[in-house]
Structure 1
Amino acid sequence: MTAHPLRRALAALLFALPLAQAQEFTASTDPARAQVTLPEPAKPALPSLILIGDSTVRNGRDDGQGKGPEGQWGWGNPIAAYFDLNKINVVNRAVGGLSSRTYRSSGHWERTKPFIKRGDWVVMQFGHNDASPVNDNSRARGVLRGTGPEKEDINNQLTGKPETVTTYGAYLRGYVAEIRAAGATPVIASPVIRKRWEADGVTVTRAGGNFAGWAAEVARQEGVAFIDLNEWGAKRYEALGRTVVATLFPPDPETVHTNWLGAAVNAQLVVAGLLQNKVLPEDVYKQRFAPDGSDDRPVVDARKVKVEAPRDAKLPSLVLIGDSTVRSGGQNGAFGWGERLAPFFDTQRVNVVNNAIGGRSSRTFFTEGRWASVLENLKAGDWMLIQFGHNDGARIGDPAGKNRGSVPGIGDETVEDTRPDGSKEAVQSFGWYLKRYITDARAKGANVVVLSPIPHKDRWKPEQPRDFENYAAWGEQVAKANGAQFIDLTLRVAEAYRAIGAERVDGFFSDARTHTNDAGAVFNATQLVEGLKRLPGQPFKGWLREPGL
């Protein structure tokens, strides 16, 4: 049976990230008395990111119950691979089966505190076990519901000792206070989302009205960074769909504990939360994520990227506009196809001017004023290539989207978005922005070719759904309706990838799935040139030459 394409995409994480070394674990029948050997900071002189919580953070022996990646894993295992461990320790001291109450009453908190020092960060995630009975002879790990000052004095049936049980919020506040007293920074995370679907089969059941909501409330009250693993996880699962989400868990009836792939998805959300709250220094991250799982690399300031002018103003110009897949500038070994296009042209006859800029969408290339600057240099007889789409899918209204998302489609409908300075922006459709570029350029006497985006590393095989299907369709419709040419670069590159096979294609990328290296940029530039040769009337015939000649 062929694996689902999104399952394949997610499975790439299994090969990109190492499994952390398993820790010794022996447990009695009472998880609160678990004899657990937990990791300590590997390099005590470095700052540490310390994790406390339950089995959804660190499961059992942290070895998948000997079942490998398909066993049960907490997100505290794969998250270490997203950090530079030469700059920060990642210390997972969560214990399976415990609650915010029993992590303390079992003595694990007292054993963890000596490792917390000034300048460290402690992420706490409790809640899955806190709804258990307050007093029984099995676990006795439940807490009082809510965030208030209520208390209940019990004679603990499990330990035989008196105990005062408080609310979930009170236990969290206790951790926050002691972490701050140690000079460290506390971070509260809501419990990870469970694999539970509403009757419609597409909506994930939230837990916002109880432990997730109470965690958020305590974070607000205490002025602590909050990571909403409940809501973000639900949105991520809904985007992936029920079939793919099932592959992130061991077989049914498991709904709480993820397998290693699911743990990696949750780890990405934690990284996204740390980034969004600006908790850690920028240089400790090896990989960055937004809540939707996309790469969250900082967007370069457009004002620092000079608009490129034609080398020889007397010659016609081939002008490129787009995102980092057109020009990456060598950042982290990435190059866009536009940076390897000039050798295919006779530069004594035409200027090749690459004014693409990383991190932009069809919307932000326009709203930031980049288009106005490019337009000043356009003249009659020039040609322009347009390729956007990789960043247009960001959610409008989500700060993690960096105000890049455009309205889906080609219509005139708008959606209001709030900019970082508090001002409001009427966001147009992807097609609206393309039409504006085309009509502005043609008004200057220039010609336009619209390109669909290059495909992702994991979305080009025949059995996989077509990458950028909507953006290709929208681009073609707008081009034809407004006097521009269109090249389905997504499909052209995908077909070329299929011809050479996965091993070579994997060697074309500088990151997990989006940005090509030098060889990949040359390969994709070659496919573009083949597309230009096949345009009606062969408008580029007099400019093209074989590279190296």
Structure 2
Amino acid sequence: MQHFLAKLILALSFLSMTNGSWAEQTKSDWQPHTVFVAGDSTAASYNQPDHQGWAAVLDSFLDSSVVKVDNRARGGRSTRTFISEGLWQKLIDDVQTGDLVFIQFGHNDASKINDDSRARGTIPGLGDDSVNIHNLLTKQEETVYSFGHYIRKMVADVRAKNATPVLLSLTARNIWNNQGIERGSGQYGGWMYQLSWELDTAFIDVTNPVADTLEAMGMEQTAQLYTKDHTHFNGEGAQLHAQTIIAGLKGLRPTLDPQWYSAKGQQVAANDWTWLRQPFVNNAEIPSIFMVGDSTVRNGAGDGAGGQWGWGDFIGDKLNSKKVNLVNRAIGGLSSRTFITGGHWQRALSMMKPGDHVLIQFGHNDAAPLNDDSRARGTIKGVGEEQVDIKNLLTGLDESVHSYGWYLRKMIGDARARGIIPIICSPVPRKTWDEAGSQIVRAQDSYPQWAEQVARQSGSMFIDLHRLVADQYDSLGAQKVDALFADAHTHTSKEGAELSAGIVAQQLRWTLDL
């Protein structure tokens, strides 16, 4: 039921955070003859009791009369050896116009670059560096490149065939620590994510959704899926990973037409937020600053569509991002209430570890109706404990709706329970001038004051973005401020988002020594 609630809320609330029509964003442009898979042993076909790759069962989710799965994944290979052994060329030779090619590597790329057993490692990262070796295994001279170099080659080759590459983060490993299950081996998932932006490719995060499921199952049940070792799963584990990938595929834009899925595949609920390409923790060895909020923090897919940007996308330009991961999980169109009921808060929270910080900014959408058949996202005004029990007209489900302050307190409590430090931000101001046209209108007895009240009462750090940004607008004047907005009064342009980000960054430098 909760998943159904989240799905319905998101499907309609995304109307507000896209630029371009809903039909344009969701039309089905992909019509492949074949879905190819390039990967390692976590995707390869084995059919062993204790080991099965996810791509071996992917076809059970698709209608074989319309599209087939051609699984070329091979155990033990890295991006480098998949190419150097000719496996990639054989795959690309068979790719036709319109096909999809899933690319998932990383588990083996961290191996040694040169030895007499595998010689499969790649240079870590996305750089242009290379190293010339005499390969101890093949006895041949070889130039070894970075992980990014090999993925870039694969993407270029797929596009040269007028086909579509889809990059995937790693499968989950059954390795646990005090915070939960491991979320990716090294930084390969993060590097694949960065490449999806650099190369403008579709991306499906496999690691974190699977990790969420496994953590809910617990260590004992998870172990039943990984009976061989901590990396390779059995048939049930393969089904879990394949289902997660199908859910992600359904959440991309464009995507496959629903009729291309089998009856089993049609039952899989879409992860409707996949197209947003939300970031996640790249380097688990350093602390993280998370951001949660609405479109003023991250607009749409965070790509500047329609000239609209959120301030969270520019924090990295203002801080030493080598010292922290900056993870902007804000989603446009959502309120404090629907960010929680849609499951987004829990997904972000599951990625955090003790000592991390989370910036929380809501308010712009909390003033919407409590109950309607389009968004149903409003919260009760104020910070009290009152609640309203409704039959949600959007979801058809019973729901208890609380105050704005209640939802903020819940996030604060959830964060602290995990050793995470919350920082409350008042909502950035709208471009609304007073009658004289000399000052931005400050909200009174409203969300900025309520956010501060919750922060003070809970002893949380507070950044008064509403006041600080408004003060800056006043000093600049109406004409200059016009250039800081990409619409009438709510969503900032790149320049406007950078201004707000600079203010947030300054506050963080003072409090966190960044």
**What is the TM-score of this pair, normalised by structure 1?**
0.46
**What is the TM-score of this pair, normalised by structure 2?**
0.49
**Greater RCO structure (CA 8 Å; 6+ sep):** 2
Larger radius of gyration: 1
